[in-house]
Structure 1
Amino acid sequence: MGKNWKQILQRVDELRWDLSRDYKKGMRVPGRIYASEKMLDAMAGDEAIEQVANVAFLPGIVGYSLAMPDIHWGYGFPIGGVAATRLDDGVVSPGGVGYDINCGVRVLRTNLRGDELAPHVQALLNQMFRDVPAGLGLSGQLKVSMKEIENVLAEGARWAVEKGYGWPQDLDAIESDGALP
């Protein structure tokens, strides 16, 4: 990135920074980066902010081309990049789902329609927050022994399916059936 981030980003608040649609002709949405000044200084040497702008060109993109605090240079998308696209004219970009290193980001299919889901979004988010482990600590509901951890490492997502934490068809939607080859 030839320019200093301080020249191209506008501060929204302490941890949010916007990249104007005017930064590059043809950007469909602005960029938004969630990071501290110290984090932005650390990423100044790579092209991650430039990639936030590039993602803003995707067909059907809505809202913002987003970058989470772990942003760094990736293939097309920055690592830590997020984009939502419309169903009718949007795209699914392999660079946005970590195809190169099987990083654990998944696109899951459902038979629910957006209008059916909309009234329940907040309740679903609250339930996911309660049920999905995040961060470090001993307070999760799932307790596993060291032997079970070894099984998880050996079997990958198949272990989770066998324990009832997923469905067999989930494995079909995960690279290498959710296990390292």
Structure 2
Amino acid sequence: MSIPGVEKEGKYIYRIKKTGNMKVDAIVLADYETIDEEPIEQLKNVATLPGIVKAAYAMPDIHWGYGFPIGGVAAFDLEDGIISPGGVGFDINCGVRMLVVDGNPDIVKKNLENLIKRIYENVPVGVGETSDLRFSKNDFKKIVEQGAKKVVEMGYGTEEDLLRIEDSGVLEE
């Protein structure tokens, strides 16, 4: 299948050049055989968003999503850009969160490498990673049923955190 406007740049790199209302190009990093037309249209829509910088990207798992395609990645200018709930999977409560840092951007930039290192030291990420946190079967059942509220009750967050999480971190049946 040929998807209009998708041009090959490398073995697994495809570009959709800026057209229409797109503010930047869109770049797909995937095997062409796995790319469908619908998520490409979504990616092109992401490229139209206010304040987007560089390009709208799609990772190898690109597929149809709600707003952004699943696997979509975009960065936005701090002054002119947006925060898009559709870009962080709000429809499925996937656990992606935005961290707001109060402070001088120059100081944050200067300490960014250390900040990233500290996050990786304290937040298990990736396949095979583990945590020292252990929950009983009963606690785990309550966490699954009550979501982030239960975790906050257990001392692993604050009430304010619940206000910043879609549906307070729990999906009703």
* TM-score band, normalised by shorter chain: 0.7 to 0.9
Cα deviation per residue 1:71-99 (whole Å; 9 max; x = unaligned)?
21123311121212112221222321223
RMSD (Å) for aligned C-alpha atoms: 2.5
* TM-score (ref. length: structure 1): 0.79
Structure 2 gaps of 5+ residues are: none
Partner of residue 145, structure 1: 136
C-alpha separation in 2, matches of 1:87 and 1:111: 13
* Alpha-carbon spacing, 1:103–1:41, altered in 2? closer, same or farther (3 Å): same
Overall identity of the aligned pairs, in %? 42
Instruction: Give the conservation status (yes or no) of the 8 Å contact 1:133–1:140.
Output: yes
Q: What is the letter of the counterpart of residue 118 of structure 1? A: K
Say yes or no: does 1:30 pair with 2:21. Answer: no
Partner of residue 146, structure 2: 155
Say yes or no: does 1:41 pair with 2:36. Answer: no
C-alpha separation in 2, matches of 1:18 and 1:112: 38
Partner of residue 122, structure 1: 113
C-alpha separation in 1, matches of 2:8 and 2:20: 16
Deviation (angstroms), 1:107: 2.5
* TM-score (ref. length: structure 2): 0.82
Cα deviation per residue 1:129-180 (whole Å; 9 max; x = unaligned)?
2222224447422223322321220221123323343222110011221112
Question: Which residue among 106, 122, 126 is the counterpart of 1:131?
Answer: 122
Partner of residue 3, structure 2: 3
C-alpha separation in 1, matches of 2:75 and 2:111: 19
Partner of residue 107, structure 1: 98
Deviation (angstroms), 1:32: 2.6
Structure 1 gaps of 5+ residues are: none
1:89 alignment partner, SS class = coil
C-alpha separation in 1, matches of 2:152 and 2:110: 29
